[in-house]
Structure 1
Amino acid sequence: MTPRWVGVLLFVILVLHAVISKMPFGLLPEMLYACHVATAVLAVGVLLERPALVLFGFSFHLGAGVWGYLFDLCETGTTTWTSVLVHITPLVVGALEVRRSGLPRWAPWASFVFLAAMVVLAYYATPPTLNVNLAHRPFPPVARLTPALWATWVTNLVFGFFLIHTTDFAVRRWLGRPWQTEATKA
């Protein structure tokens, strides 16, 4: 199992990101981006020695979080060092756990349900101006294709489903392991 200090490190990275990159600019609600919450879940999994939480966090980051980060990076052309850490560190920690125990079949499904839940949470809990998790309006490059909010949500969830499951398939092929191991059935 991953040493517990790694879970503490993940929380330190999240706090640094909030304090350095969000609070000074009035962007603290952006900590409800799904990838930030998934990092926290992964950190809890490490601290409590719960591989299922670590595997979920990894699955979400790989299938949705990193893709969203990269799309945003392409759109804005900017990032922060804390944001890089928030998106890369969970992948490293999760990949080590996946190599050890495999990736459970439920992981992409849990990631997709989490994505949908985080969109709804962001809609009600964050200011529309921040558009956390694209909950209030479409991603700017495709705004003219999905002008209605419901169409934006449907399009984003379909695209998210595709990315999560395609990435999950690719990881399984890369691992060259059975779809489910004894350690990941729970």
Structure 2
Amino acid sequence: MDDDQWEMFTLGIGMMVRSGALLEYTLHGLAAHLLEAHSAYGEGWAADPVTQHIEVCEKAARDSESPLPEPAREALLADLASCRRVLDRRNLFVHACWQYEEESGLWWGIKANRKEKGRAQVESARSREPLELSAEIGHLQQDVLGWDIEFFGEDGDPDEGEPSRVVVKRLI
């Protein structure tokens, strides 16, 4: 295997893990705001998997009492569906055992299949795919952060180097 293929794949996975963690953090903050939680980490649900934070956001977007205006709801739901998709793919990269195949020029990963118990999940990927997925996750994180700022943001302090609008995630 070419060292460049190994380095690109490995660096991409590291970047994808970091961008995925930031997306999870941002989704958690949006869920806290939608639930009107006083403290983002003082609630029992705070340690739930990110899929449950996505479900909280989806439920709030569909709720007739939602603080989100009607036109924004469908767009948010589309972004949340995209979050679910990219985080599922991220989980594959993180939890599969990957091996490079010279003949095809592809990486092959295998892991237990949660959807079909008793069957392995086998997937292929190009060396650049983790980097591309990292970029996609980063764009989605910015979209989710944009929703949080738009509907729950507060005035920032430009004199302190803050943007004009910020979102606050209260720890206590």
TM-score of the superposed pair, with normalisation by structure 2: 0.32
Q: Which has the higher contact order (CA 8 A, sep 6+)?
A: 2
**Bigger proportion of residues as strand:** 2
Larger proportion of helix: 1
Higher Rg:
2
